Homo-oligomer: A and B are copies of this chain.
Amino acid sequence: MGMTNETTDPTAHGIDELCRQATQLARTAPAPLRSVRVQAGELLVALEWPENPAAAAPPAAGVVTAAAPAEPAEAPPPDGTFAITAPLVGTFYRAPSPGAPPFVEVGQDVAAGQQVAIVEAMKLMNPVEADRPGRVVEVSVTDGTAVEYGEVLFVLAPPEAAAP
């Protein structure tokens, strides 16, 4: 927004510019606005829309669930932890074979690409690997139980967070 420099009255003109931007945005909006904020100190344009009309409905309305975004919207937890999810439908195994020690335990560090579990489907043993390094803070599924695609198997903390 270098334009603001081109005026003798930066603030007012800045506001003018901000509002013009805001109006633009409002017109090209995906849905009706819920709120608009325009600030000149530190220059800010903030438009807010309801995620969608239904989501804005009172909880009583089952449409809330109905209208939840189709794609999973699992926001990453603030503490930087991340999940390892099931790559397919199947049975979750923590160990390479019955009685054998599990691939990983809580508190253990894992490297990217390290196998952490097996998901068995139709007699096929599918290895589950960590896609990045981290420390296991939770094993989310009991050994030997059925898991759906995308189900959380482990929660890991980033290595740095794991450092004392």
Contacts and interface: CB of A to CB of B under 8 A. Distances in A.
A104 interface: no
- State the main secondary structure of chain A at its contact with B: mixed
Contacts of A15: 14, 17-18, 21, 43, 45
Interface of A: 9-19, 21-58, 61, 63
**Chain multiplicity (copies):** 2
A63 B36 CA distance: 24
A54 to B, nearest CB: 6
Contacts of A25: 19, 22-23, 26, 36, 38
A51 B50 contact: yes
B34 A51 contact: yes
A56 B32 contact: yes
Given A32-B58, A42-B39, A58-B32, A24 B19 contact: yes
A10 to B, nearest CB: 5
30 contacts: A11-B11, A12-B13, A12-B43, A15-B21, A17-B19, A19-B21, A19-B24, A21-B23, A26-B28, A26-B29, A28-B33, A30-B32, A31-B58, A32-B49, A33-B47, A34-B49, A34-B51, A35-B49, A36-B47, A36-B48, A37-B45, A37-B46, A39-B42, A40-B44, A50-B53, A52-B56, A53-B54, A53-B55, A53-B63, A56-B56
Nearest to A14: B12
Contacts of A37: 44-46
Nearest to A13: B12
